[in-house]
Amino acid sequence: MDLILKNGFVVDSANNFEGVADVLIDKGKIVKCAPDIEESADKIIDCSGRTVIPGLCDMHVHFRDPGQTHKEDIITGCEAAAAGGVTAVACMPNTTPPVDNAEVVMYILNKARKAKAKVYPIGCITKGMKGEELCDYEELRKAGCVAVSDDGKPVLNARIMARAMVKAHYAGLRVISHCEDPDIIAGGIMNSGAVSKELGVKGMHRMSEDTQTAREIVMAGDLEMPIHIAHVSTATSMLLVRLGARYGTMVTSETCPHYFTLTDEKLRLRDADYRMNPPLRTEDDVTAITEAVCDGTIDCIVTDHAPHTAEEKADFEKAPNGVVGLETSLAATLTELYHRGKISLRRIVKLMCVNPRRILNIPGGSFSEGEPADIAIFDPNEEWIVDPDKLHSKSHNTCFKGMKLKGRVKMTILNGNVVYEDK
């Protein structure tokens, strides 16, 4: 046998197991997870005092590759993923060129062969992300895509979006919707509210997100087709998702750690590292998102990892939206939810390891025999200060900079091999 992880506190939500156990690995696969494994192995790693979970799956990242590799590329993005305990990522298609054909998909997969995380491309809903003509979903799926989205741009034409839901479903792909009405946004750069008014900058009204979320849920219900709502940030959108699910609509949803941790009060600093789309909202929205994460309404915690250079982020009002998050997502979730007694480790594993893989229909997420040996090992009690200069991403635009987080990834294993170790 290749490797045994000894004496770790194993949390395996998929198998309803939580307790001290060993994990036996051979040829990149899980052989056994049980207390006091007696088999011998080439290597033994003592995990005493540490928590052992399946590797995280982040189903919403932007790696800027191809076309904008000065911000990030597949290799550096996966370096950041590994440092955050993330072993699988799904990359959004708003690259240059967009991921709307098999050739771009193959470029991504070929480059990802040497990466420290498994990369799953998401294809475009429409060609060129122009919202006009549907892509060939069969072609995208056969090339290796696991979902389709025009993330970064909404599909404004409801007829086209309805056709996409149907055609993508029968091609075996989930539609991920970026819910935004640009006519309502109209150049806004932060949440529309008291803070934006005091700063004298144009706000992004929550109606932009809420109206599009309502449209997608109504269409999914009427068509009896699944829809996944990306990066939910408002209390109203969360209510719409909850109501849709209650009445049988096949709707799943995600949010990001910054939406249950930070508010638009951070924008008083006039620092573009706190600008993303959708924007940081109000305390009431944070409360609603937190409740939805804890009660099971929200299915996944993702990062919407969106790297931008320091030069691009230097001007508060002109900077592009987006923040990096792969290296802080687990720690921020542990700090805000687990250590405050709002959520269990088992629920975190469901949100960050199991559900994203289930929605995208990709392997992993448990310690069952034969599953990939993709594993995150962390110390839930280690405190650390987020230093942007020490991040593994090419870009350092984190909204958690300077914050003390509790919970640190100590080791990440991919296919049975250690790809990250906190020294």
Catalytic amino acids?
A: 304
Asked if residue 105 lies in contact with residue 140, where contact means CB atoms within 8 angstroms, the answer is: yes
Whether the CA torsion 119, 124, 125, 129 is positive or negative: it is positive
Cis check: omega of the bond before 66, within 30 degrees of 0: yes
**Beta carbons of 220 and 250 less than 8 angstroms apart:** yes
List the one residue out of 187, 192, 188 whose CA is nearest residue 206. 192
Q: Which strands sit side by side in the sheet containing 147-148, from one edge to the other?
A: 56-61, 86-91, 118-123, 147-148, 174-177, 227-229, 251-255, 300-301
422 token code pair = 């906190």
Distance CA 289, CA 102 (A): 36
Mention every residue, 6+ apart, whose C-beta is less than 8 A from residue 338: 344, 345, 348, 380, 407
What are the distances in angstroms from CA 269 to CA 266, 290, 394? 6, 24, 24
Backbone angles phi, psi at 91, to 5 degrees: -95, 130
**H runs (alpha helix) in 224-301:** 235-246, 283-295
Length of the chain: 423
Instruction: Tokens 């060939």: give the residue.
Output: 136
Strand partners, 174: 147
Q: Rounded to 5 degrees, what are φ and ψ at 266?
A: -60, -25
Pairing of strands 417-421, 404-414: antiparallel
Which two structure tokens, joined as six digits, stand for 333?
Answer: 């979730």
